[in-house]
Structure 1
Amino acid sequence: MTQEASTTADPGVVVGEDGLPRPAWAAVDPLLRDYYDCEWGMPVTDERGVYERVSLEGFQAGLSWATILRKRPAFRTAFNDFDPDVIAAYTETDVERLMADACIVRNRQKIQATIANARATIRLRQDMGLAGLVWSFQPETTPRPQVFAEIPTKSAESIALSKELRRRGFAFVGPTTMYALMEAIGIIDTHLLDSHRRGSSGIWTS
């Protein structure tokens, strides 16, 4: 999830009706709150899981994460549960089918990138695999933000990961998008220090 909350009056965490402190972006909308509490920042290490998140982060570029999250069930249906083997075999007919699907984000470049990325994912099986490659860019330390404004939008590792994925044939994997991916799948922990989710991944404990 790329950063989209206002930093004008950054309150740090917001305590919800349930008494749990969360960042402002996850404190109101029930869908975002559940995603934050149950998914965001938890380790994802399987090929399909990482490929799906690379795909959805790519579709999110220029949009809000809430938009993508609401459309995620439709994305999964339209893209065969993000099975790289199935998507790699998509043809122009599938591109047109997806462009006609009002339930997803109809962006031809992003659709074509998702197909290209499936093919690149399959090629990576001859090496360390997509998940192994992405996780190989885990840094030695993670941010310790107290307020939203202290959370970076990219890092040396996300820049390097972006370059390597592009070299391997991936598209829509810019440094900011890859930083959001690293946050989402637990490679780094950017939960605010006072959030009830800080350290929940088990990878970063403080």
Structure 2
Amino acid sequence: MAKLVFNGVGDRLFETGVKKGVLYVMGDEGQYEQGVVWNGLTGVTEKPSGAETTNLYADDVKYVVIYGAEEFEATIEAYTYPEEFEQCDGSAVLQEGVNVGQQTRKTFAFCYTTSLGNDTQGQDFGYKIHIIYGCKAKPSEKSYSTINDSPEAVTFSWDVSTVPVPVEGMNPTATVVIDSTRMDKSKLKIIEDKLYGTESAEPTLPLPDEIKTLLQ
């Protein structure tokens, strides 16, 4: 029986950063369209909730605990956003260069990457690709202020709710996380080629069941 070793060399892990954002807008036929780059990301806050407990009692004792459905929400913060996101933020084109607000908000999916680090390789240890499905952006506050001697760029923020997608043999999910340190590099490249595109193929969003098939 091996003795536990705490804080071993290479085992001191941490996660940091947010980059390589990609937006996939859902088309009118219910399929996600090709991905577009989302530059200027400054933060993504994932906010799972729900799974509230209900205690049932019988024979004067606690009989069983029932858990409610889990929900997933997020907040996206950025200095800018792709033009394609405007239709997800309640905006529609009235004429070229003229948009109107308070329109129907389109569903979208979104992926971004965080860096994995450790005590030997720093932030170059690996990374995680986070995919969020079935997103709807809620109306959000936008604050503009005068330019002064300490100017700051406007930061946009959107609260996002989700509707889970089916997963064969599992509960529906709104999130998938792909860890580069725990899979074969050739299989990882297959997923990245789908998400980001290649010289000969457009970037498209694989659903969880397709990801599983691609990795078999």
| TM-score clears 0.5 | no
Between Structure 1 and Structure 2, the one with more helix by share is 1
The structure with the larger Rg is: 2
Range class of TM-score, shorter chain: under 0.3
Q: Which has the higher contact order (CA 8 A, sep 6+)?
A: 1
TM-score if structure 2 supplies the norm length? 0.25
